[in-house]
Structure 1
Amino acid sequence: MGKADFLSPKAISNRIKAKGLQKLRWYCQMCQKQCRDENGFKCHCMSESHQRQLLLASENPMKFMDYFSNEFKSDFVELLRRRFGTKRVHNNIVYNEYISHREHIHMNSTQWETLTDFTKWLGREGFCKVDETPKGWYIQYIDRDPETIRRQEEQARKKKQELDDEERSARFIEEQVRRGRDGMEDNPVYTELKREDEDEKGLFFSRVSRLLTKTFGFALKVLSASLFALKATASSSSVKRKDTSSSSDYRKEKKKKSALEEIIEMEERKKKKESSVRTDYWLQPNIVIKVVTKRLGEKYHKKKAVVTEVQDKYAAVVKMIDSGDKLKLDQNHVETVIPAPGKRVLILNGPYRDTEAVLEGINEKNFSATLTLDSGHQKGDRVDIAYEDFSKLA
């Protein structure tokens, strides 16, 4: 059966399929032929041309492997140099870009089994700087081109010359400053005033002194009068301001406060009172707490315990309810336990600290609970306490 015509749909379809990348398992590196499916690869392996290539390779197998290895290395390094320069890049990114070319050398025909082995080899031979990270291997091309080295040396020399010029100018400025200071430190030389005609000079200075006295005397009178007027106006205005401010304060005091303002003031005083009696430590003996830290493992995480002893206000010795183990924990590693309604609790913070109470109900929206005080001088009163300010009694 003959081949399809060049412009027939089948021939065009075959050329389109052959244009793209195919599977590596159906590629013959010896013959440099890519097959499209398993049947085509099988037929190629049975062909005479493939058999001849195998006979040639069997005579000197290392020669062919070295050739393919050198080709793969040179193409890979050239792509790395042109595409990425001396930037640090992931080796898999470079490899994927390299194999996107249809006529590339496949790695299974080289002396390296994996890309990692090839990356390590590049680092040992000095072609690239390689480093391993949790995300994989990264490579950085080392440019040993004589032109690049000459350019880098030229830049280093220019930079050194600029630094030398700056140091030279700084030294010159320091020298000028030092000379200026030395000149200022010299003691001044005083000379005697000599006059050729004593009468003429004395007459001139006496006239000038009389003229200055008259001028400055008049100016001082005008200035004192203006200052007096300004002082009088300022005092009158200050008296008026004082009168207006005192009258406005009197009206404000006379005005009665509304009921809403009184409630707001009461709430503020209550908050100030609560904040004054609150502390940053809350642990108490004989209460039930829950372990929230994960550092101790799943055995104790989210398990309940009883506080047996409090040490230094912020640490506690607890006894696990399930296993009976004793642990020493910080208050940041535990949290309070909210029992069922009707159970007894202990208030740990706020104005009702160290007071026993009975849990009546829970308000989930406000993250608080209604408690009935069971001890103290306010026994029987109902109060709302936040979750973190009380805990179940053991």
Structure 2
Amino acid sequence: MGKAEFLSPKAIGNRIKSKGLQKLRWYCQMCQKQCRDENGFKCHCMAESHQRQLLLASENPDQFMDYFSEEFKNEFLELIRRRFGTKRVHNNIVYNEYISDREHVHMNSTQWETLTDFTKWLGKEGYCKVDETPKGWYVQYIDRDPETIARQQELEKKKKQDLDDEERSAKFIEEQVRRGKEGKEGETSFFTELKRENEEEKVAFSLNKGPSTSAATSAKSSTSLGPSALQAATASVKRKEAGHSSESKEKKKKSALDEIIEMEEQKKKTSRTDYWLHPNIVVKVLTKRLGDNYYKKKGLIKDVQEKYTAIIKMVDSGDKLKIDQAHLETVIPAPGKRVLVLNGGFRGSEAILDSIDEKKFTALITLDSGRLKGRKVDVPYEDISKLA
């Protein structure tokens, strides 16, 4: 029977059937041909073209396997780099997107038997960071592009420069505050009494407009007022002006310092990360895959691996488990207990829980470490956990 014509119903039906993925058992990697059923695959294996490809492969099988393995590895890594970048992703998600291409290189023609073996090989060769969790294997692409490395170095340099500027400004503010306090302590006030040398003389003031009377009264007033009284009055006025100026400067300094502190707190509130695990905190297990013995049970984090995986020791049984942070939640203790801030600008600071606001889903804590020790702040529930 000859081949169907281009626009015939048979040809159209064949093209419709050939779309999409077919069964892997009826695919020939050497000829790169996909058959639709067992009969078609049997006919293909009996064809002369397939026999010639087998003869070529039998002469040097390692060369063909290395070629297919290299193609599979390059396309797999290119998909991770282009689609996910340097994010941490499950290996099965990447593999499902990779095989969605009808012309992809199949894994059964490479040197790796399973996806797990290929994932371990990527971590061993240094192409990706791999870690095993109860959900499976996760991969994270390591970008070694010179441009990317140079960009990261510039960002780190800029970040370090910003930190240096902040430290320099903080030291300058502290120095100004210290000088202001020292100047205020060094100022001393002296008070003198307003006395007259001669008690019999009277001090008289005249409001007449005549020139002769005004001159006479001015002469009398100048002679009647003693030099000590004038000096004391001028000295008191100067001291009052100096006191007002120092108080105004001190108010300005305090207001500027308060504004800088508020700006730092605002920056710290906006700096959040997608990971929150930290050693020596109490957490609760949320997954049922480990069994009912561990579900909703509390444990203590002993170690953190790759920022997202925790090694915990169960409080009741003492068993050690390795769990991803997606299956854990924080524990809020009673007021008055010590907690650890896990996220935000105060990350890593120890604090004391004062109260809980159930309507706003926040907690009022008093910082117990760092430069802002003693300050009371409001943080969300999920940003704190009980400290062991």
Tell me the TM-score normalized by structure 2.
0.50
Between 1 and 2, higher relative CO (CA 8 Å, sep ≥ 6) is seen in 2
Structure of larger gyration radius: 1
User: TM-score by structure 1 length?
Assistant: 0.49
